[in-house]
Structure 1
Amino acid sequence: MHAASHGHGHSHDYVAANREHFDKEAHKFDAWPEVGVLTKKITATMRETHPHLFDKDTTEVLDYACGTGMVSRELVPYVKSIVGVDISGGSVESYNKRTSELGFAPEKMKAVCAELKGEEHELGGAKFDLIVCSLSYHHFASIDAITRTLASFLKPGGSLLVADRLPTEETEEKAAEDYPENVRHTVAHFNGFDEPEMRRVFEGVGLQQFQFMDGLTGTILGKDFKLFIARGVKPL
């Protein structure tokens, strides 16, 4: 059964579907030019829009749903350290192999395979100045639950930055056709998210100073779509 046929229902195990898919496909991602171009565009926009969030001496980053580390590798020159987290062991293995080849020490940049729940002991109790999640929210069954979890890993005053696609005028079913057949079972939200929904979700978990930047465009698999970057801040 494809995700398209049950919309936003939770009967489908998106975690298992994504883990299995990305374990299998991880080795292909770094050689996918469109994704590399889009990642560069998103990370550059994050830095240009929120330059004060990036400090080489102090900023500790969590890259959530980090995949093979494309976002981490773009941001690592501008921060103190990055921890990538992904549910896919194959992606994490690829991330750490590449990190090692590039000569980064684990203290600077590393990935761990985990499904975070927001519990105190996770990630050794670490908290972060900045959490980034790029082009992954559409894979999560509940963006409210995942945002609550991510907010729990922020230091007071820390920021969450989420990049994903904006909705089109299409129905969810029609938007599903933008995705290849073999990945549809991994996608929980085919038609992206708008500003009111992201504001509701961020503010619903107590994040403040909501900002929404939506002037970005990208191309994946030959399809053009519009992107946003949302920001929320954990209160001091």
Structure 2
Amino acid sequence: MTSNFAEKNRQVFEKQSRTYKTDFRKGIETLVKVAQTQRTWVSEVWADTEAGKGKTLKMLEYACGPGHISIALAPFVNRGVGMDISDGMIDEFNKNVREAGISDKMTGIKANLLVNSSPAELSGSEYFDFDIVVVSMALHHFEHPEKALKCLGERLKKGGVMMIVDLVPEHLHDHGLHQMGEVVQTISKHGFSAEEMQKMYVNAGADNGFKYQVIEEPLEFTKDGNTFHKTIFVARGQK
């Protein structure tokens, strides 16, 4: 059964799915740049690296939205799966990978691992033993972030890497929250410190070589005519 919090997330992002690329264009550009430039900091095993040579690399992007991170990293893996709780986002994901000409190796499916970490339809080997699991700007929307990382850690192969991109903690005034509209109701936590992330990686069994790096370039997005600038981080750890 889906929690009220998860259902609110689904409803809000269902509404945003068709306009997400437009509304968050600048932010998406920053996130794509971060994913591509930081990927070898996150892991040395990619299709174009010496460590990845001859390997079949599988990637899972959880809470994938319209798939901009999956598409950005697609050239460096052999197979990718996007999962999201919103039908609209998955429709956009599959449309975007078709338009990018990579639907042969990238597929989006509707799934909520955080309610049932092992649903029958996701019990096949293609949904386990991922070389890399990515969560980009979604962890702060999860009702129980620590449980989320544990579920995702179970999907990683031994030696696989988890990459999280999210917000650095900050103090928000009520006025700033009000400007963000109904999306505030989908946020469980306004950012994660290095210590908090490391604790969650330990709990997920993916803390080998844990690292946390703050990104200098701010993440910019516009919501209801208001422009926001947020500081983000990239974290990595190995199972």
Where does residue 105 of structure 1 map in the other structure?
A: 103
Give the C-alpha shift of residue 176 in structure 1. 5.8
| Residue 57 of structure 2, aligned match among 43, 49, 59 | 59
Give the C-alpha shift of residue 29 in structure 1. 1.3
Tell me the TM-score normalised to structure 2 length.
Answer: 0.84
Aligned mates of 2:44, 2:76 — CA distance in 1:
11
- SS of residue paired to 1:76: helix
Aligned positions of 1:55-204 closer than 5 A: 55=47, 58-106=56-104, 108-116=105-113, 117-119=116-118, 121=120, 122=122, 124-125=124-125, 126-127=127-128, 128-168=130-170, 170=171, 174=174, 177=177, 180-189=180-189, 191-204=190-203
Give the C-alpha shift of residue 205 in structure 1. 2.3
| Residue 20 of structure 2, aligned match among 29, 40, 43 | 29
Aligned mates of 2:69, 2:35 — CA distance in 1:
7
Aligned mates of 2:155, 2:69 — CA distance in 1:
19
Aligned positions of 1:34-45 closer than 5 A: 34-45=26-37
Where does residue 225 of structure 1 map in the other structure?
A: 230
Q: In structure 1, what residue type is equivalent to 2:143? A: A
> 2:82–2:109: 8 Å Cα contact kept in structure 1?
yes
Change (3 A) 1:54 1:228: same
> 1:178–1:223: 8 Å Cα contact kept in structure 2?
no
Q: Deviations over 1:91-123 (max 9, x none)?
A: 0011112222332234x0010001113327425
> 1:129–1:157: 8 Å Cα contact kept in structure 2?
yes
Give the C-alpha shift of residue 213 in structure 1. 1.1
Aligned mates of 1:66, 1:205 — CA distance in 2:
20
Q: In structure 1, what residue type is equivalent to 2:144? A: S
Identity %: 27
> Across the two proteins, how many residue pairs are aligned to each other?
219
Change (3 A) 1:176 1:188: farther
Aligned mates of 2:158, 2:178 — CA distance in 1:
39
Aligned mates of 1:143, 1:186 — CA distance in 2:
13
Give the C-alpha shift of residue 24 in structure 1. 1.6
- SS of residue paired to 2:44: helix
Give the C-alpha shift of residue 132 in structure 1. 0.3
Task: List gaps (5 residues or longer) in structure 2.
Answer: 49-54
Aligned mates of 1:51, 1:232 — CA distance in 2:
9
Change (3 A) 1:215 1:147: same
| Residue 13 of structure 1, aligned match among 4, 18, 26 | 4
Q: Deviations over 1:54-103 (max 9, x none)?
A: 22552210010000111111111111111000000110011112222332
Q: Tell me how large the CA RMSD over aligned residues is.
A: 2.1
> 1:63–1:132: 8 Å Cα contact kept in structure 2?
yes
